[in-house]
Structure 1
Amino acid sequence: MSTHTGVALRHAGAFWAGVAMVSAGVLAHLPEFVAASSMGYRMAGMPMSALMTAGMLLIVVGLALAAFGLIPAGSLRKPAATAGSPVLLRTMDDAPLTRQHWGLLFVLGIALVIDVMKPATLGFVVPGLKAEYGITTGQAALLPMAALTGTTIGSLIWGILADRMGRRAAILLASLLFVGTSICGFMPSFGWNLFMCFMMGTSAGGMLPIVYALMTESMPAKKRGWLVVLHGGLGTVAGYLLAAGLAALLEPHFSWRVLWFMGLPTGILLLVLNRWIPESPRFLLEHGRVEEAEHVLRRFGVILTHQAPAETRETAPAPEEGFKLFALFRPPLRLRTLTVGMYAFGWSLVNWGFLTFTPTILQDRGVAAASASRMLFWSALIAVPATVLVAYLYGYWSSRKSMMLFAGLTAATLLLFAVVDPGAGGERTSMLMPLMVLLLVGSGGVISMLSPYTAEVYPTRLRGTGSGFSAGCSKVGGILAPPMIALTLLHFPGFAVIGLVTAAPVLLSTLMLAVGGVETRDRRLEDVSDAPPPEPSPERQPALAGD
């Protein structure tokens, strides 16, 4: 049993045996893919071979075995209520950044990039899939719809699991699901593609809330805001860049199918790097695992002090709290839950509706797939420096006002798309890249602040669940947007109408944030989670435990 970084493996041998079985199951699908090279890797209509069937069975058994070896006994049962941890993170929020902090950010950054890359790949897969299976735009829209349904469900489930089994253990299991679902690109039939992309979505949706909960709980208060936002913004842009770059490099040679296979090496990479990810000390203290928490905190150079339970700012979950997801909608959390939910939903319509169908719109207007991918790649690259501005404003100006600012920029750019409609009739094509850069700056700022902000406004006992809810809302628009945008494009081709449709909810979410947003800049997590909605004065300093 391993506890040196705050996670207990019931049976390490069972876990790694499960990892080996899942990897072998994925590799069992490669021979059929290679055999289709003479046909341009077109596998539509091919029968499912016995080797592929055996590989799928290996994956299922391997996942079950790995889960058995990973999940600590009793962790999925509701923890016993306590009066609050007697151990306080007295200097954690004012501690300097150490090598361990930067190492954690680096590894979690890789996890974030890989997680963002998964759904971003959808936009580059749909055109090739549509051509190979000979289906309509409406039918092709079922693929992102299935994948995003999986991400929505996965976000909720994994957020709850992270509050029960731990942040680090949940990351391990989600990483293994990345590996197992990489067979999506090897499925011969369109129906199997839909099912496997749904399963892939459950793993991709689970990683995001866990990563941000762990980062938020591990960073010092005065540096948490700009660090986590910068980290998230760069990770989001890098994930989109990686998806676009792989599409431009690999798709012309190995078809759209190879893009899904990237889940195997990236998932294995996360499993290898996860040994350098410590468990959240706040989670450990919340669950009474004091000895493990002390070990983790010493790695970060944090001094522990003890005080009476009556002075503890954040209490453990009460028995009457019930199902964790319902607790988000009870006072005093109801207003902030509705606020972050609508903000996430507004962004999701832009990302999964507008941006996902941009390559399809461009190709319908005669732009080659490779050219469209390159244009989106360079637009994303140019937008990268804006992430630094987002982080600065969030950390040193105002978290709430910064979120409102970039949501407003996103809505304004969408309205410009609607008015200009670049590329219509071969005109105003020069406006396409500038508008795309502005949109990526605005929407990138929105999503880079959303998850850090959400993790800040919930208490430790509900941080994973709250982050999962927010992440789910950021995907649920993807369930609605693909069929809605596909239907809209059938009757109104181009950017004009979809620009108006996607701008409206972003404006609404900005208004809700102005009314119900909570300021989090420079404040301890325990102060924010207990705070009423009104914004504090700029002079407020983060309180020290015991002051």
Structure 2
Amino acid sequence: MTAGVVLHLPMYWMGRHMGFHLVGMPMDAGMWWGMVLIIGGVGLTAFGLLPTHQPGASDDVIVLAPPEDAPLTPAHWMMCGLLAVALIVDIMKPASLGFVVPGMREEYGLSTAAVAILPFAALSGTVLGSFVWGWLADLYGRRASILLSSVMFVGTSICGAMPDFWWNVGMCFLMGAAAGGMLPVAYALLAEIMPTKHRGWALVLVGGIGAVGGYFAASALSAWLQPDWSWRIMWFLNLPTGLILIALSPLLPESARFLQHIGRGEEARTVLARFGSGVQTVAATVVRESHSHLPPVDRRHLAVTVALTLAALSWGLVNFGVLLWLPGALVAEGRSVEAASTLIAKSTLIAAPTVLISVWLYSAWSTRGSLALMLGVSAMGLFGFLLRSMGVEALADPIAPLALLIVGSSGVISIILPYTAENYPLRIRGRATGWIAGCSKLGGLAAQGLSVLGAAPALGVAAAFVGGLAVVALGMIAVLGRETRGRDLRDLEVEP
């Protein structure tokens, strides 16, 4: 994979005297062979990461007692740090889109409608990646799926050498697939290794650090590198960051639960010992009963799956729809672009502590209640914009509904994936978390599709529809959702 990327660097370097503009240049033989190596590398990696199932020969197999009731150890802190780094790198990839689009549009001579295809392709990739990687996490394992994403990051860095816009679109789709896949898998791994009393705050905090750190890394690296190396350098950053994740991978453990599930008991014992935990031995018949072959959705999980799906769709419509349409709506009201941007920035600063508030609510109050609360705050912000569109003078200044909307949406995305990971048994946890992560992007994909078609609705109409969806999700979670605070994940394997 790395060799395939390196074969693209001469093309990039040839453009150094022209501001690294490569548009219209023919692709040489080295680039074509590089793509062959990259495609082959993905296939070999996927094959090499397939786990070997090793069913035990005896009638007795291990059942994990810890880490549910284990104390927090340095190994737990190291794992949190590694997953935070992985999520920063993961979120940095799609976050870079906003910084490459201006230079790309200028170099390729694209219209506003044409350049909108790039984020649409990336978002399509994240939807597919969330669904596929969720399934892969249950087949390959959590650690192996994260490694596969990292390897794909390396390959997609060749976007920086593409002389044609449509090659960028295709690579952007693959980059989105890799980025969309890592997020739900990281949550599943963290949920299965952290002790019960620390699981809630760790899930929300690591996710929050990844989100904030990813956007900060993208903006800081863009400000530092783009002036000298053009927008293309933002794609080539996928090479070193992907290799960093691969280099750190020996420090990242596989889930002991997954290792036990595929019959690799000794490796599960080793992982548990690393976290200061031990195991119990019980009859295999008990394990077979407690680990039934559940489909991704059955009657036990149908209600919470529908509720979380609606919540995820509503968040996607807010984050990739309403909040992206908002600046244009404010400008249409007579505000300047600068004034509209300043207003949104102020509202974002008001909402900045949301991650810490979400951590506290999730771990100290109620997991179900905190998600319902954040959906309610989002709905209040949306209905505030609906009332503004109806001429309510008290809401002439949009900062209050905007702050509510940003607070609510930030809280929802901080909580929904940790809550999902805690609601499903091991056999389907990856698929379930991937499904909800994919649905959060699917709502955004629908919103961006309307933008590409020039059919984006008026802000008030959009707010009314999405607000109603959020209220329905809130009600379903409040009534049908499980309370997972302090709950032992082993209960999910044996409950009727």
| Bin of the TM-score, shorter chain as denominator length | 0.7 to 0.9
Q: Which residue of 2 aligns with 1:410?
A: 378
Q: 1:280 to 1:491 in 2, by over 3 A?
A: closer
| 1:118 alignment partner, one of 93, 101, 108 | 93
Q: 1:72 to 1:28 in 2, by over 3 A?
A: same
Query: 3-state SS of the aligned residue for 1:92?
Result: coil
TM-score computed with the length of structure 2 as normaliser: 0.87
**Residue 294 (1) aligns with residue 272 (2):** no
Alignment of 1:393-432 (within 5 A): 393-416=361-384
Q: Which residue of 2 aligns with 1:245?
A: 220
Aligned length: 487
Alignment of 1:123-202 (within 5 A): 123-202=98-177
Kept in 1, the 8 Å contact 2:380–2:404? The answer is no
Moved more, 158-167 or 482-491: 482-491
**Structure 2: how far apart are the matches of 1:360 and 1:57?**
43
Unaligned runs of 5+ in 1: 1-21, 322-326, 422-427, 533-547
Q: Which residue of 1 aligns with 2:305?
A: 337
Alignment of 1:21-100 (within 5 A): 22-73=1-52, 86-100=61-75
Q: 1:442 to 1:82 in 2, by over 3 A?
A: farther
Alignment of 1:283-322 (within 5 A): 283-309=258-284, 315-318=290-293
Q: Which residue of 2 aligns with 1:527?
A: 491
- 1:290-314: CA deviations, max 9, x gaps? 1111111011111212234565597
**Structure 2: how far apart are the matches of 1:111 and 1:84?**
39
- 1:16-46: CA deviations, max 9, x gaps? xxxxxx1122233233333334444333333
Query: 3-state SS of the aligned residue for 1:453?
Result: helix
Kept in 2, the 8 Å contact 1:233–1:444? The answer is no
Q: What amino acid is the match of 1:458?
A: Y
Q: What amino acid is the match of 2:201?
A: W
Moved more, 95-104 or 518-527: 518-527
Kept in 2, the 8 Å contact 1:141–1:486? The answer is yes
Q: What amino acid is the match of 2:437?
A: A
Unaligned runs of 5+ in 2: 390-395
Shift of 1:103: 0.4
Kept in 2, the 8 Å contact 1:85–1:285? The answer is no
Kept in 2, the 8 Å contact 1:244–1:377? The answer is no
**Structure 1: how far apart are the matches of 2:165 and 2:59?**
52
Q: Which residue of 1 aligns with 2:421?
A: 455
Q: Which residue of 2 aligns with 1:266?
A: 241
Shift of 1:234: 2.1
Q: 1:353 to 1:52 in 2, by over 3 A?
A: farther
**Structure 2: how far apart are the matches of 1:520 and 1:24?**
46
Shift of 1:477: 1.9
Shift of 1:387: 1.3
Q: What amino acid is the match of 2:298?
A: R
| 1:210 alignment partner, one of 177, 182, 185 | 185
**Residue 101 (1) aligns with residue 76 (2):** yes
**Structure 2: how far apart are the matches of 1:84 and 1:509?**
45
Kept in 1, the 8 Å contact 2:51–2:141? The answer is no
**Residue 505 (1) aligns with residue 480 (2):** no
Q: Which residue of 2 aligns with 1:466?
A: 432
Q: What amino acid is the match of 2:36?
A: L
- 1:145-189: CA deviations, max 9, x gaps? 222222222222221121122111121111100111122233222
For the aligned residue pairs, the C-alpha RMSD in angstroms reads 3.4
**Structure 2: how far apart are the matches of 1:501 and 1:241?**
32
Q: 1:286 to 1:296 in 2, by over 3 A?
A: same
Query: 3-state SS of the aligned residue for 1:470?
Result: helix
**Structure 1: how far apart are the matches of 2:18 and 2:383?**
43
| 1:352 alignment partner, one of 320, 341, 348 | 320
Q: What amino acid is the match of 1:515?
A: V
Query: 3-state SS of the aligned residue for 1:306?
Result: strand
Q: What amino acid is the match of 1:46?
A: M
